[in-house]
Amino acid sequence: MHIADYSVTRAILERHGFTFKKSFGQNFLTDTNILQKIVDTAEIDEAVNVIEIGPGIGALTEFLAERAAEVMAFEIDERLVPILADTLRDFDNVTVVNQDILKTDLEAAVKQFKNPALPIKVVANLPYYITTPILMHLIESGIPFSEFVVMMQREVADRISAEPNTKAYGSLSIAVQYYMTAKVAFIVPRTVFVPAPNVDSAILKMTRRPEPAVAVTDEKFFFKVAKASFTHRRKTLWNNLTSYFGKADGVKEKLEAALEAASLQPSVRGEALTLEDFARLADSLKAEGLG
């Protein structure tokens, strides 16, 4: 029997008198086939260290610990720490850290692995209310995570993996795809959780690119330009850029010159631009002194 078996999960919760806190977005997975599929998708073996966020009562942690060299699980809810000590007592390769992942010194944390030279993968059922901040924090941390296999709301997974000229494509797609390739591996129905969330989930597999998808002179400015281009999705690129940079005559001339240099029509919408288009646009705007 696994922790994730429904009867085992209920027994653990009752034994410890655990009640769910909405503020932590707690939904525990009770389907061992899906957990097996997550670990298979992440290609976890003894040559990999794993970071997990929000282990809950250890359902996914158990599957990871059976295959990984080591698992470091970050749990913000201190009430779960003694429960995890109980449910994972048979594993000597799991460390539970009672910290908020957004406030953790990740560089110091990953040095605590017995063999920190091994590739590190992030495998987690992310809390829905804070998925994007956690992902961007990890991606931009400078830690060379080789891969992310993470569960999130299906809608967010669609946005991250979206292609240009689709409804889901936006600044989040660009922010992640600049660093990683992103693909939805499979869908997880809401019915396999306790308590059941209001939406279906998706497992998103993201693999770090050897180098960013495009070369830009200023990364921060590149992301700002991408974000500004989607401020009002239905508006043209020109309207969004003038909203962001201003409409003074000198600014308009520079915007026109930058768009021409980037071979972009002012009437195009942000959702039609590829990462390469945004790279050219950001560099052209910078060259015009707008960055």
Q: Determine whether the annotation assigns residue 240 to a binding site.
A: no
pLDDT of residue 291: 82
CA distances from 262 to 132, 248, 256, 266, 288 (A): 30, 21, 10, 11, 12
Per-residue pLDDT of the chain (291 residues), as tens digits, is: 999 999 999 999 999 999 888 777 788 999 999 999 999 999 999 999 999 999 999 999 999 999 999 999 999 999 999 999 999 999 999 999 999 999 999 999 999 999 999 999 999 999 888 999 999 999 989 899 999 999 999 999 999 999 999 999 999 999 999 999 999 999 999 999 988 888 999 999 999 999 999 999 999 999 999 999 999 989 999 999 999 999 888 999 999 999 999 999 999 999 999 999 999 999 999 999 998
Nearest to 279 by CA among 178, 193, 204, 197: 178
Nearest to 185 by CA among 153, 209, 157: 157
pLDDT of residue 249: 83
pLDDT of residue 252: 93
Q: Determine whether the annotation assigns residue 54 to a binding site.
A: yes
| Helices within 111-215 (DSSP H only) | 131-139, 154-161, 171-177
pLDDT of residue 41: 98
Question: What CATH code is assigned to 6-208?
Answer: 3.40.50.150
CA–CA–CA angle 158, 148, 273 (5° rounding): 40
| Tokens at 21, concatenated | 């806190």
Q: Determine whether the annotation assigns residue 75 to a binding site.
A: yes
Q: Determine whether the annotation assigns residue 29 to a binding site.
A: yes
The CATH architecture one would assign to domain 219-287 is Orthogonal Bundle (1.10)
Domain range list for the chain: 6-208, 219-287
Q: Distance between CA atoms of 7 and 80, rounded to whole angstroms?
A: 18
